[in-house]
Structure 1
């Protein structure tokens, strides 16, 4: 007999069938002139963290995958206007963040550069600037711009083109978690212990503000013309900069952080890098997922005022928690569950999860903001087990991700032998429309890292031991 919950989901899907198609000309966030191409310049596609891309995934034909073995976890795989992918990886042994320049035609590493080691989340978030340089803060608290160049022999090499120390603004026991440029070219950054600042590595000017005591930043930040979004373990902030670059808080919205960290999350609070999205200019709204104990909710705010548009229950059929940034396109938001995902390590100070462990039940939800902005409605909800940060392609109209299938069909447990499957999902229904197994076992664990569609129909997906290069022929 159907449960009340399943009946409600079915009713919602039926009532909202007329709004389940994304318009052909989707509203997207404006291009940030201080980054590389939209879709490939940041882990989440653009500085608004929309997790959309103007590039298609693999084209028609048989899907193929190649594992690029780097003996490293590679959470950040980007590509510049020159077509060369740049990956920021953390080796399994030593855990020293290392930049790799990849061959666009094969995915093989052409050059590498080790950075100063920092915290687990330090050196994870980075972006490509308008000159295709990787912008990152290393373990010495230095803001770096890493460029790739041909040497005298014609070989590729990576080197630090510019460096600015942030040590005067960031204590030795703290580290930068997220960074993103604004529309004036300043680099905004947020530290794990709640310092938010701006840095101009041309003039050397650095300015900071400290958020309330006890609030930590465990995810990246997002920028749009309206300001900079930072979600802490207690609240979401929109900050702007004064003429001198000094950060100031425009609004603050707290959320339900729950009673403890959940299994499958890396901090006690929202796992979201906050997302700008909207049907008019692509930045009308802000989206995060809270960390409420029994039923998490999508929180949507009006960007200009911080007014709450809705707090809509999500992941009703799957696990109640998400470490991933929501996808935002037009008036639609897509949320993938990470509840119970077996991370091999969590950051220092993350605390024990409650419960200590849980099955990876999966879960994927679409919610639409009503056209008049009066609230939000559930469109679909399922139990797909996304093992990566999904991306929405504006070119082919599909959601792209990697699914972690159970070794024993029909179960929710995980094992080191689980198979992994690249999948394309219909955003109108939540159904898988095409998929192919890319491998099985530890070597192929995508560890809830983001994939990136690159030119030529090549999808690059970080794994715990390297990168998957997925194509079609």
Structure 2
């Protein structure tokens, strides 16, 4: 009854809204494309170097869709699409915990080739935040700490293959017991790296590497000295933003190519990890955005109790622009990066989302109902404050992606049959009007643990195709007909 009812409602919405808004809202400029990355919108987990979680491509829309599920026996938090139109997924196999790259067929979404990283050590959620470079190579880090460039082509037999094109060691800057968790290029082509325990490094084009420790002794570089970095880093023209479990940092390089801290802003990190988060402190990758250059502001969320806040800062100075309570009143939190474009930021709540047992440690409280919800906040024209534009209660079960082409937010939703989440919960493809926050359509795509989207990121590819990772594989969603 539950799925049938939503299916009928979704079809009704599709008929009423198939034509879409009269015109997509103009959100202001995105930052200029990073020349060292693949296509904007599909080159990084959060779309681009600025982690805007936007795409210039239209999504599948509000009409009927076909959602094909591709089980591969692993969680797929990263699905990127190169300039050649070929999607590349980085998934962690459940049996071996080895992160494995998959090349996908854009025609139907099935795997064309696969390649495990040379050593394991991955977590169920995938290990490192990877990216596609300007040669459509997947850049990631293996379990031994080597930065790997994984290319793809057709082999001598004509079949597609994945291969390691280049490697670079990072062991010289990673303390024993630590691991690289994020990598992204800046606009000079240098690659910035962050480790889980607060080391930030720059790998220069000449192969040189230098590092700085956040919140610890850079000379000793012992585990426990540094602050924890549990999310991705973001790079813009004004610098590289790194959020730790204590503060937001903006870094640049000095004349010698060594990373240096330009400014630091501490935030309310809360007393503990909340249910529906993977770590204590902010759950957000920093997001650059702005109405003039596309990156004059940078935003994260805090971990305040009981109410979460969006924090917006000036990229140039670190001065606060605003602190705004977001998400439904009462206990709230998020593990997702905000969407940021023009003068707009959109935050999706994950409070209470049931992550797999063993994926994370204890939370306070130990559990809570999944509340979801989204809030849109607009920075005032003066740049001296912010205003909440809308709130909704959509239970987004994935990191949402905003299409600036059609003015819609694309995500998946999770629906519980009672007060608590169960392994039999249903999942829907969902589209939200970014101008109003209204849910335009929900269409059921599956039920149960294998299709749990687990607050992973979706990517929108050319042709209005959306890819979304799950615990055991991924969806490809296409307009029907």
Change (3 A) 1:282 1:346: farther
Q: Choose which of 443, 448, 465 in structure 1 pairs with 2:450.
A: 443
* Distance in 1 separating the partners of 2:260 and 2:445: 46
* Distance in 2 separating the partners of 1:233 and 1:25: 31
| 1:362 and 2:372 correspond | yes
Q: Choose which of 400, 410, 419 in structure 2 pairs with 1:400.
A: 410
For 1:126-145, what per-residue CA distance to the aligned partner results, in whole angstroms no more than 9, with x for missing partners? 00000000011111000110
SS at the partner of 2:459? strand
Question: What is the RMSD of the two structures over their aligned residues, measured on CA atoms?
Answer: 1.5
For 1:392-420, what per-residue CA distance to the aligned partner results, in whole angstroms no more than 9, with x for missing partners? 00111100000101224xxx421111110
SS at the partner of 2:427? strand
Displacement after TM superposition at 1:345 (Å): 4.6
**1:151-300 map, 5 Å:** 151-200=155-204, 202-212=205-215, 213-300=225-312
Change (3 A) 1:35 1:346: farther
Match of 1:124 in 2: 128
Match of 2:9 in 1: none
Give the conservation status (yes or no) of the 8 Å contact 2:227–2:245: yes
Q: TM-score, normalised by structure 1?
A: 0.92
Displacement after TM superposition at 1:149 (Å): 1.5
Match of 2:324 in 1: 312
Match of 2:221 in 1: none
Change (3 A) 1:179 1:134: same
Q: TM-score, normalised by structure 2?
A: 0.90
Match of 1:471 in 2: 478
Q: Choose which of 142, 147, 152 in structure 2 pairs with 1:143.
A: 147
* Distance in 2 separating the partners of 1:342 and 1:414: 7
* Distance in 2 separating the partners of 1:285 and 1:237: 13
SS at the partner of 2:210? strand
Q: Choose which of 91, 113, 116 in structure 2 pairs with 1:114.
A: 116
Change (3 A) 1:430 1:354: same
For 1:191-221, what per-residue CA distance to the aligned partner results, in whole angstroms no more than 9, with x for missing partners? 0000000113x52211000111341000000
* Distance in 1 separating the partners of 2:84 and 2:194: 29
* Distance in 2 separating the partners of 1:93 and 1:246: 40
SS at the partner of 2:97? coil
SS at the partner of 2:173? coil
* Distance in 1 separating the partners of 2:374 and 2:100: 32
* Distance in 2 separating the partners of 1:367 and 1:288: 12
SS at the partner of 1:323? coil
* Distance in 2 separating the partners of 1:255 and 1:439: 39
SS at the partner of 1:417? coil
Give the conservation status (yes or no) of the 8 Å contact 1:317–1:383: no
Q: Choose which of 369, 372, 377 in structure 1 pairs with 2:382.
A: 372
SS at the partner of 2:150? strand
Displacement after TM superposition at 1:304 (Å): 0.3
Displacement after TM superposition at 1:119 (Å): 4.6
With 424-433 and 310-319 compared, the bigger mean Cα shift is at 310-319
Moved beyond 4 Å, runs of 4+: none
* Distance in 2 separating the partners of 1:332 and 1:307: 18
* Distance in 2 separating the partners of 1:51 and 1:61: 23
For 1:246-266, what per-residue CA distance to the aligned partner results, in whole angstroms no more than 9, with x for missing partners? 000000000000001111111
- In structure 1, runs of 5+ residues without a counterpart are 1-20
With 240-249 and 31-40 compared, the bigger mean Cα shift is at 240-249
SS at the partner of 1:168? helix
* Distance in 1 separating the partners of 2:279 and 2:440: 34
Displacement after TM superposition at 1:382 (Å): 2.1
Give the conservation status (yes or no) of the 8 Å contact 2:308–2:325: yes
**1:389-428 map, 5 Å:** 389-408=399-418, 412-428=419-435
Match of 1:41 in 2: 43
